[in-house]
Amino acid sequence: MTVRNKVYRVIIHIFLIIGSFIMIMPFVWMVLTSFKSVTEATQMNPFVFFPTKWRIENYLDVIKQNNFLRLYYNTFSMIFWRVVCAVAFSSMAGYAFARLNFPGRDFCFGIVLFQMMIPTQVFIIPQYLMVDKLGARNTIFALVFPGLVSAFGTFLLRQFFKSIPVELEQAARIDGCNIGQTFVLIMLPLVRSGMVALSIFTALFAFKDLMWPLIVNSSPDYATLASALAKIQSAYSVKYNILMAASVLAIWPMILIYFIFQRQFMQSVTTSGLTM
């Protein structure tokens, strides 16, 4: 390697390290503050970087005031059902759109494209009124409701099914599989990576969503982690150490899942992005 190349590499690393620092700093600061006392958090002279005593009490405080177990339960129930519904219905429809001929197919696919092009806010008021009319506000079902079907998922899995060679399917049919068997036994296992990508997308989207849980479930018993944070913020407006503890409690599950399934997370972005 030439000297010029080496210098070049060092500069790149310095740039990337500064960037990494900026990306991580808010997380570090959140964790550090979450263990401080209010005095430490707001002390300027000298400025306190590390808490002198790591106060677990902040966490106990915010857990006592807010039923976090319940929030985890609500959030992950919502995610679970949304993922199950999205993957099941999207793979069924995706397969039919990709491989079967039936009257009305193009019209039905038009509906999928329509949904994908319209911003979700357009649907929210009527969706809310429907849940309200069903008397289903403040339930897990209400949280799942807008995610019962996924146009994006249908489109994504259709692309995956399209990329599988037709010969495979024909062979299965000649061997005596009917359409349903071919779909379940032959085709579904082949689009597993698409289903994983869709699951990650659906889960992440649901986990991050704020507006829907905020409007549809006003009771704290049916809040999600995101919507509960909004309430916690107004309750503890100036106690930043408590607020940071709440934030840590709200984001750690997804961060943990991310570090376990990193590769799948990255792949889900690229596969879904590039097949569109």
**In the window 137-196, what residues touch other proteins (CB under 8 A)?**
145-146, 148-151, 154, 178-180, 183
Footprint of other proteins on 219-238 (CB under 8 A):
225-227, 229-230, 233
* CB of 43 vs other proteins, minimal distance in Å: 8
240 counts as binding other proteins under rule CB under 8 A: yes
Site residue total, other proteins (CB under 8 A): 97
Token pair of 236 as six digits: 């503890």
| Cα diameter, the chain | 80
Decide if 136 contacts 202 (C-beta within 8 A): no
Binding segment for other proteins (CB under 8 A), chosen from 63-71, 76-84, 85-93, 136-144, is: 85-93
Token pair of 117 as six digits: 């092009």
Residue among 14, 24, 56, 134 that touches other proteins (CB under 8 A): 24
3-state SS assignment for residue 44: strand
Token pair of 10 as six digits: 């060092």
Binding segment for other proteins (CB under 8 A), chosen from 62-70, 103-111, 163-171, 186-194, is: 103-111
What are the angstrom distances between the C-alpha of 268 and each of 66, 151, 156, 200? 34, 16, 11, 7
Query: Element (H or E) spanning 147, and its range?
Result: none
Contacts of 34 (CB under 8 A, 6+ apart): 58, 59, 241, 244, 245, 247, 248
* CB of 165 vs other proteins, minimal distance in Å: 19
The phi, psi pair for 236, rounded to 5°, reads: -115, 40
The 108-127 site mask, x for binding other proteins (CB under 8 A), equals x--xx-xx-xxxxxxxxxxx
* CB of 35 vs other proteins, minimal distance in Å: 14
Decide if 89 contacts 150 (C-beta within 8 A): yes
Residue among 100, 134, 171, 185 that touches other proteins (CB under 8 A): 100
* CB of 231 vs other proteins, minimal distance in Å: 10
